[in-house]
Structure 1
Amino acid sequence: MLKTALGRFRFIGNAEGTSYLVLLLIAMPLKYWADMPLAVTIVGALHGLLFTLYLFALLHVWIVKRWSFLRVLIAFLVAFIPIGTYVLDAKLRKEE
């Protein structure tokens, strides 16, 4: 899976999506309901790193696979939807 640009993109997309869900469903409630802001600090930093890697992997796939601008834009936008990267991964798995 990690040998191709698309495989790396899918892997990083799943990791980024997971970190986003952990941030929204675990860290944020801990911050606001349990007064534990450290959870958001740690998970937020990890999510930021994974989002940056996602963007670099998307750029790499765009160059290697010659995706259209619209497809890249959609792949960028789904990262802001909590389960968007999983849906994108399912569609990309069919292409591989």
Structure 2
Amino acid sequence: MPLKYIFEMPEMVRQVGMAHGILFIAYVLGGILLIKPMKWSLKQIGIILGCSMLPFGPFYVEKKYL
């Protein structure tokens, strides 16, 4: 959004938004694929996937669960 409104570069929103979406999907899929190898409980995977929607949430997950 700063690129669009502050720097007047609306064309960048599409590219940055696409990268953000792909990384979000990769994070969620990675969390799902690691359930069995990491032996996470249902509560833990709920916290891990919930943190994907919080700013800086993945940093908490990395420190606590990985």
TM-score (norm 1): 0.60
Using CA pairs below 8 Å that are at least 6 residues apart, which structure has the higher relative contact order? 1
Size of the alignment, in residue pairs?
A: 66
Cα displacement string for residues 44-64 of structure 1 (whole angstroms, at most 9, x for unaligned residues): 111111111111111111122
Distance in 1 (CA, whole Å) between partners of 2:47 and 2:28 is: 12
Distance in 1 (CA, whole Å) between partners of 2:24 and 2:2 is: 21
Is 1:89–2:62 an aligned residue pair?
Answer: yes
Taking only aligned residues, the RMSD between alpha carbons, in angstroms, comes to: 1.4
Divergent runs of 4+, >6 A: none
Kindly name which structure, 1 or 2, has the bigger radius of gyration based on alpha carbons. 2
Give the structure with the larger helix fraction. Answer: 1
Distance in 2 (CA, whole Å) between partners of 1:75 and 1:65 is: 12
Distance in 2 (CA, whole Å) between partners of 1:47 and 1:30 is: 14
Q: Is the 8 A contact 2:28 2:52 kept in 1?
A: no
Percent identity for Structure 1 against Structure 2 = 32
Partner of 1:65: 38
TM-score (norm 2): 0.82
